[in-house]
Structure 1
Amino acid sequence: MRWLTESLAKNKGFLTFMLCMFMFRSAIADWNVVPTGSMQPTIQIGDRILVDKAAYDVRVPFTHVSLHHVADPKRGDIVVLDSSAAGERLVKRVIGIPGDRVALVQNHLTINGVAADYQPIAVQGIQDDREDPALYAVERVGATHHAVRWSIAQQGHTSDFGPVTIPPGQYLLLGDNRDNSADSRYFGFFPRNEIMGRATRVAVSLNPANHYLPRSGRWGAALQ
């Protein structure tokens, strides 16, 4: 046991640093690899995104216990959550907050009686477009706007719902890739206490379709 004690003593500084780093990543800021295309075109496969873990709550490290409530997620935020229903960590966009009345018909949103406006846009460089051609548009409801992707092959076969009223403490989350996202249409509303942080920007982007070489123009890009 003496060698173990000596080894721990020699590496005390390193171990302290590692513990502090893990605590920081757990409670303050972290980064996540995005392996799927459910948030395309906003987040692409291979993006590493920065997550502000203190955007909504200051939590006890390594737990979901909130020490201090900072704010609640807003409509349009991209959030990271530990979903018990999905059994994994998810990255989705907040579409409806508590009290909102939301409907999705033929991939067109209506929130609190206001129909979203859609303006077509051109998007380049999405890997899935080669096998699954898609349409892109900016979806705008009031002051909230962001890009969405619709699979051409899925037009007319959408997951319609609503109108539904979101209960207290729950959120309706969707992926920007509307025809290829497991979200509230599959898992229902997501509890507020499962939302662990807000995704703010792309830290690093590597292209898995091109030998994981860096994608130019995406490093440090803000997420909208």
Structure 2
Amino acid sequence: MLDEPLGPVSSRVTIGDGVYFQLRNALITGRFDPGQVLTISALAKSFQTSHMPVREALRRLAAENALEIASNGSACVPKVSVERLDDICRARVALEGLATEIAAGTIRPEEIPAVEAFMAEHEATSAGGNVYDMLLKNRDFHFAIYRASRSEVLVQLIDSLWLRYGPYMRMLSSHIAPRLGTGLHEPFANHHHAIVDALRRRDGAAAREHMVADITGTQMLLRELCQAEAI
């Protein structure tokens, strides 16, 4: 189930775009359960819109492989599996590792403090108890690095992968939420510090190595969760 209600769409964007971007953000941050059915009528009620913009938003998200559309027009969040997880993570390792390595050579000195600030905010939210804030700050940290690669193509492809990774973020958040403050995040925080250190030294190989370790460390945890759910 969605933990927080969806809000009315701002008049500063088209209604269709507003619905799309709110749903996309909810999916990418793992706010829907794997396999959850999203009906047009329920979403239209949450957004306080007609059915048309919701239907169009669901079609757009299905085209991005973030949702699966049933014959009756409702949408379903993809179910999780070890095979799908490994497929996504294999692509993440390739693309995010490359973007990080490139960023080590292209990041501007004035951009590094912003990356460090996101890292600090991620660590602070880890102790603060809001798992979604923590995951959002983690995303901010990662994408500040990927954008520093100056590769529009890589950033777009990585963003698409994170969208498809949404159901696994939901599993991760459910696992992490009751364990916040126990030090569970520390191995990942260590990789973040190592990545920033490598960026400062412009050491692309080291930056890539620790980014890959960050991704695969989470992948191993999620593999265990997927296997446990399948039993």
TM-score, with normalisation over the residues of structure 1?
0.25
Which structure has the larger Rg over C-alpha atoms?
1
Could you say which structure has the higher helix fraction?
2
More strand per residue: 1
